[in-house]
């Protein structure tokens, strides 16, 4: 499932995938894969992303199914 919440939060901070990736210590391809729903990140990576984007885990990664 695509992570549109992550993409939206990244855009709201005016960060490219590459910029977010560098701030989190991963590749741009990793951020792209997370946004596309092709990669399930570790909890540690989720936390790093949340800190950079000033969001909670629930705001970016919780899905109601």
Write down the domain spans for the chain.
4-56
What topology is assigned to 4-56 in CATH?
Answer: 434 Repressor (Amino-terminal Domain) (1.10.260)
Helices 28-36, 17-24: inter-axial angle, 10-degree rounding: 110
Q: Are 10 and 18 in contact (CB under 8 A)?
A: no
Sorting pLDDT into bands at 50, 70 and 90, what band is 65?
Answer: low
For residue 13, pLDDT beyond 80: yes
pLDDT in tens, 18-47: 999 999 999 999 999 999 999 999 999 999
DSSP state of 48: H
For residue 64, pLDDT beyond 90: no
């Amino acid at each position: 499932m695509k992570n549109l919440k992550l993409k939206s939060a990244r855009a709201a901070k005016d960060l490219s995938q590459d910029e977010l990736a560098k701030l989190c210590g991963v590749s741009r391809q990793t951020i792209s894969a997370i946004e596309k729903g092709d990669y399930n990140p570790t909890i540690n990576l989720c936390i790093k992303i949340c800190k950079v984007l000033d969001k909670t885990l629930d705001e970016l990664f919780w899905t109601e199914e």
